[in-house]
Each structure stands twice: as structure tokens, then as C-alpha cells.
Amino acid sequence: MPPRAIILDCDPGQDDAVAIFLALASPEELDVLAVTTVGGNVPLALTEANARRVVEAAGASVPVHLGCPRPLLRPLETAEHVHGETGLDGSGLPPPQRPPAPGHAADVIVELVMGRPPGSVTLVPTGPLTNIALALVKEPALAEHLAGIVLMGGAIGLGNITPAAEFNFYVDPHAADIVFRSGVPITMFPLDVTHKVLVTPERLERIDALGTPAARAVAGMLDFYRRHGRTGGAEDGPLHDPCTIAWLIAPELFSGRECHVAIETVSPLGLGRSYVDWWGSGDGPANALVVNEADAEGFFDLLVERLARL
Ligand code: RIB
Ligand code: CA
């Protein structure tokens, strides 16, 4: 099988950073065409610089593009309380040396996808979905042309930034609504599965013991993150975003169910909530594979094996 072409759209964020490392360490399975960035965990000026820091630390030359600094309608809400003031606290990574690549994320997504055969590019968003929604609106043919969207966001159950909503969908609920109405095949990694992939002290030790610069950066980030990232009732640091990449590499590590998913864009209390019709009680057609089970040990075996390559 040739590697799958992906565009990783993210808001680093320690867990986004681990997703970037894992993707760049897996060239047999994944061809990372570009990394695009969005305001989310921290403002865009930091998420884009953080993405460049991580790509350079991985020894890669993948272009990093800037996208939307704020959601489509709402003001940006960030999460320094989880990720630290830099968004990458604990990494110890130096400032980026290379500049960002020219071209807005939404335009780059359209150009890269439409410039390749239908069904050959997968989008992997791990932050607010603003860039993805903008690209889908700018180019109506994009939805048909995409192979799929593999995203981290939403929740079957309780939220982590409000009682009802997960952070990525809460920050830009209107973008999430556009994505889930687009007809693109979606694989959704909600909190219910990412909270089963926890950074325990033993797993942290396994990563740190690799001793490489990238592994030390990941260990430092995850040490910070496991002390600050236990939102939404998580018993340790949930490694949200890399679940998307791990599924693309080893789908057998996960399982889920095709469901109809709708996004709350009106109720102030429920803004950004993902209504996942897990029991098929509604009549909306399934628009997402909602993943709810993970082999956490298998995930960390994969992560350690791939980090050792960098
Ligand atoms: O709710 C968790 C998600 O929000 C993760 O993607 C994390 O990086 C933040 O973006
Ligand atoms: Ca993220």
C-alpha cells in the first residue's frame, strides 16, 4: 500500500505536537503534505510557531502554513491553563529557524486536495475546525474530492471545557457544524476514547528512556501535560490528538460505531455539544464513525516504537 496523503491541521498544544511527531515518524503509512495551523489552545502566533518547532525537531521539511486566528463567528477562547503560556510548555524545543510557508491554510488545503486525484487526500484536524470549514465553503467540490476527515473532537458523554462540550467543538461550533453537514466521510475521536489513552508515569518513563532529543521533548511536554491536562475528569493526561494518527497507522487498535452526529450552535449552555446518536434513536443518517474503544497499551507500544526512529 502506498502511504496515505494527509494534511494535519492543528493547534499545538502538547498533544498536537505528539501527533505531528508520530505522523512524521511513519513515512511508510503517511505522506504528510503539509501542516496547517489554527488559533485554539493558544493564539495562532504561538500554535504556528510551535508547529514549526516540532517539524524542525523531527528533522522534517514539511511546510507549515498559518490559518485562521479566530473562529468563524465566536471570539477565540484559549486553554493556557492546560498547555501553558507557550502552548508547548515542557518541550524545551528551541524557537523555529525556518519561516512559515506562504499561503493561507484554507487555500493550501483546497489547492493540495483539488490538485490530486479524487479520494487521495485525508484531512486530520486536531484543533478547532475553522480552517476545514472555510476550505469547504471556499471550494464546494472539496467535500466530494476528499478521501475523508479523521478528527479529534466532541464527546458522546460529558465535555471538558463546559459540562456539555469538548474544547475543539466548543471554540468553533459553527465550523464543526459545517464539517458534520458536509457529507465527507468522518472518523471522530471524542473524549470518550481519548480518555482511555492516558499518559501514566510508566508510559512517560518508557518514552523518556528512549533518550533521543525528540523523545526527551515529548517526555518533557507530557510530564507538564499530565499535571495540567486532566480536564473532563481524566485520571491522567489524556493523549487526545495522536489517536487520529495512530488509527491511520494501525486501525486495529480502535473500534467504534457509525452514528449520526449533530452539533449544537444555538444553546448558550450546550454550545459546541456533539449530539452522538449512539443508540440510533433518531432518524438522521450516519455521518461519522465514532470511535469509543482503544487498545491503550498497543497505542503506546506504537508511539514508543515510532518515536525511537526520530
Ligand atoms: O479537548 C481536547 C482537544 O482540545 C485537543 O485537541 C487539545 O489539543 C485541544 O485542542
Ligand atoms: Ca489540539
* Burial bucket for residue 211 (CB in 10 Å: 0-12, 13-18, 19+): exposed
What is the pLDDT at residue 235?
Answer: 77
Residue 215 near residue 208, CB atoms below 8 Å: yes
- Could you report the per-residue pLDDT of 176-218, keeping only the tens digit for each? 999 999 999 999 999 999 999 999 999 999 999 999 999 999 9
What share of the chain in percent tops pLDDT 90?
94
Whether ligand 1 lies within 6 angstroms of the CB of 192 is answered as: no
Rounded alpha-carbon distances, angstroms, from residue 309 to 147, 198, 239 = 28, 22, 20
Residues of the chain with pLDDT under 50: none
Beta strand 4-10 pairing with 288-294: unpaired
What is the pLDDT at residue 234?
Answer: 72
> Atom 10, ligand 1: which residue's CA is nearest?
127
Q: What are phi and psi of 152, to 5 degrees?
A: -100, 125
Whether ligand 1 lies within 6 angstroms of the CB of 167 is answered as: yes
Residues whose CB is less than 8 angstroms from the CB of residue 122 and which lie 6 or more positions away in sequence, other chains included = 4, 5, 6, 7, 146, 147, 148, 149, 150, 248
What is the pLDDT at residue 64?
Answer: 98
| Ligand that comes closest to the CA of residue 274 | 1
- Could you report the per-residue pLDDT of 24-36, keeping only the tens digit for each? 999 999 999 999 9
Residues whose CB is less than 8 angstroms from the CB of residue 205 and which lie 6 or more positions away in sequence, other chains included = none
Q: How many CB atoms lie within 10 A of CB 183?
A: 12
240 is catalytic: yes
Whether ligand 1 lies within 6 angstroms of the CB of 166 is answered as: yes
Domains of the chain: 4-307 (3.90.245.10)
- Could you report the per-residue pLDDT of 34-66, keeping only the tens digit for each? 999 999 999 999 999 999 999 999 999 999 999
* CA–CA distance, 134 with 118 (Å, rounded to integer): 19
Kindly name the residue from 65, 195, 240, 260 that is annotated as catalytic. 240
